Amino acid sequence: MSGPPKIVLASQNEGKCREFARILDSFRVLSLSEFPAIDFPEEGGDYLENARVKAATAAREIGLPAVADDSGLEVEFLDGAPGPYSARLGGPGLDDRGRLDILLDLLKHAPAPRHARFFCAAACVWPDGRVEESQGVCRGEILFEPQGDKGFGYDPVFRAEGESRAMAELSVEEKDALSHRGKAFRALADRIRAAVPTT
C-alpha cells in the first residue's frame, strides 16, 4: 500500500504542524524539519503573497504539494499595525514578551475596548503550479495585561469576541476552533481534499 498522500507544511513550528495534521487527517503532513534547509525569499507586507511564495518555494524544492501561512495582529488604534510585520515588531532578537511589551507601550493611551483582529492567509501550491488559497479572521480586543501561559506570540494579550479569557488561557482545542489560523487551515483543507481525493 502506498499510504496516505503526503503534503508539506512549510514551517518548522511543530505546534502548527500538529494543528494542520489534526485538520487534514487523511493526509500525511510533513514539516520542513524533515528536509534539507531551504532559502526562502524575504517576506514583505502582503499576507497572501508571503504565504504563496513560501509554499511555491517549498513545493519546487521538495517536489510535494506544500502549504504555508502568514498571519498578523491588526490593531485598530494603530491603523492596522503591526499587521504582516507582527513577528518582527521591535526588530530582530526580541522574544515574544519583548514584542508584547512594545505593543502594550504603543497602546498605553488607547481607551478600552482596544479593538483588534488576528488575520491569516494560507496557500497550498502543487509542484505543477496549481494553487489553492484561504483566509481566516479572529476579531477581539487587546487586554491591558498579559493573561495565561498557553499559546505564543500575542496570545496573552488578545481576547476573542465572545470570550472571557485571553487566547493564552484557552486549551489547544478551544483555540483551534476560533483562531484565525484554524479557520484558514480548515477552509484550505476542504479545498485540498477536493483537489486530491483520498478514496
Q: Which residues are part of the catalytic machinery? A: 70
Helix 14-23 and helix 180-195: axis angle, to 10°?
Answer: 50
- 3-state DSSP helix/strand/coil percent for the chain, to nearest 5? 40, 25, 40
Alpha helices in 2-126 (DSSP H): 14-23, 47-62, 96-106
Task: Give the whole-angstrom CA distance, residue 37 versus residue 30.
Answer: 14
DSSP letters, 136-152, are EEEEEEE-SS---SSS-
- b or e along 51-90 (b: 16 or more beta carbons within 10 Å of the residue's beta carbon)? bbbbbbbbbebbebbbbbbbbbbbbeebeebbbbebbebb
Peptide bond connecting 36 to the previous residue in cis, omega within 30 degrees of 0: no
